[in-house]
Chain A
Amino acid sequence: MAATDPDLVRAALGGSEQAFRELVHRYERPVFSVILRVIRDPSRAEELAQDTFVKAFGRLGTYAPERKFASWLLAIAHHTAVDELRRAGVRTQPLEETPQADIAYRDDETPARIAERRELAEVLEAAIRQLRPEYAELIALRYQEDLSIEDIAEVTALPMGTIKSYLHRARKDLAEYMRTRGFSN
Chain B
Amino acid sequence: MTQRQRKKDDEILRALTVLEDADVTEADAAFQALARRLPKPSPRPGFAARVMYAVQQAPLPAGRVALEARPSLPLLVGAAALAGVAALWVAFLLAPVALPIFARVFTFAVQACLLFIPPLTAGLDFWALISTIARALSEAATSPEMLTVLAAITSVGALSFGALTRLLSSQEESPHGITSLCI
Contacts and interface: CB of A to CB of B under 8 A. Distances in A.
B110 interface: no
A144 B54 CA distance: 27
A32 B19 contact: no
A100 B70 contact: no
B31 A143 contact: yes
Contacts of A89: none
Contacts of A135: none
A91 interface: no
Contacts of A185: 13, 16-17
B173 interface: yes
B37 interface: yes
B3 A57 contact: no
Contact size range, A: 35 or more
B40 A33 contact: yes
A101 interface: yes
Given A50-B51, A102-B40, A12 B67 contact: yes
Interface string A91-108: 000000011111110000
Contacts of A21: 48, 52
Interface stretch (A70-78, A117-125, A151-159): A117-125
Nearest to B178: A17
B159 to A, nearest CB: 29
A144 B35 contact: yes
Nearest to B175: A15
A182 B16 contact: no
A6 B174 CA distance: 22
Interface stretch (B57-65, B116-124, B126-134): B57-65
Contacts of B61: 58, 61
B86 interface: no
Contacts of B105: none
Nearest to B53: A50
B70 A17 contact: yes
A98 B42 CA distance: 9
A46 B16 contact: no
B42 A54 contact: no
Contacts of B17: 185
Interface stretch (B4-12, B74-82, B91-99, B143-151): B4-12
Interface of B: 1-8, 12-13, 16-17, 19-20, 22, 24, 27-28, 31-32, 34-44, 47-48, 50-52, 54-55, 58, 61, 63-70, 173-174, 178, 183
29 contacts: A15-B67, A15-B173, A16-B68, A16-B70, A17-B70, A17-B178, A21-B48, A24-B47, A29-B43, A33-B41, A49-B43, A49-B47, A53-B51, A98-B41, A100-B43, A100-B44, A101-B39, A117-B37, A128-B38, A139-B35, A143-B32, A168-B27, A171-B19, A174-B31, A175-B16, A175-B19, A179-B2, A182-B5, A183-B6
